[in-house]
Amino acid sequence: MKLWVVMLIVMILIIVGGVYIESTILKTTDHLSRKLDLIQQEVMNDQWSNAVDLCSQIERAWSEQQDKWSPFIHNHDLDVVANQLARLKAHLTAEEQGSSLAEISTIKIHLVQLHHQEVLTIKNIF
């Protein structure tokens, strides 16, 4: 009987942990997407210095999240977003509107994919 109780407690902890991680990932990816929308608006308005500042804020936030998420998400996926942010910053610094907007779209897509990979669903469990 004790074994069943312990197993039940472990299962509940795993489910609660998964839901917590999922909500944290959703909040962070939504926040980053909103910041990317702001960068996109700044690029469209030719406000390059504001866009670079926002990109730097996103890079700092992402590096903090990488440390938290590395035990749960493949490091390759985290590094891809970091590389994309670095490319975005280079495009913004060079004031390349088309390349900047394309990179923003790529980052947004990758953030959505990250979220879908980590959602607690039957498909992702099996």
Domain range summary for the chain, segments of one domain joined by +:
74-118+122-126
Q: What is the mean pLDDT of residues 12-28?
A: 85
Q: Kindly state the tokens that stand for 5.
A: 């109780």
**pLDDT tens, 95-126?**
999 999 999 999 999 988 887 776 655 555 55
Question: Which amino acid is present at 67?
Answer: D
Q: What per-residue confidence (pLDDT) applies to 92?
A: 93
Residues 23-46: b if buried by 16+ CB within 10 A, e if exposed: eebeebbeebeebbeebbebbeee
pTM of the predicted protein model: 0.80
* Mean confidence (pLDDT) of the chain: 86
Indicate the pLDDT class of residue 17, thresholds 50, 70 and 90.
Answer: confident
Q: Which of 11, 16, 61 is nearest to 35 (CA)?
A: 61
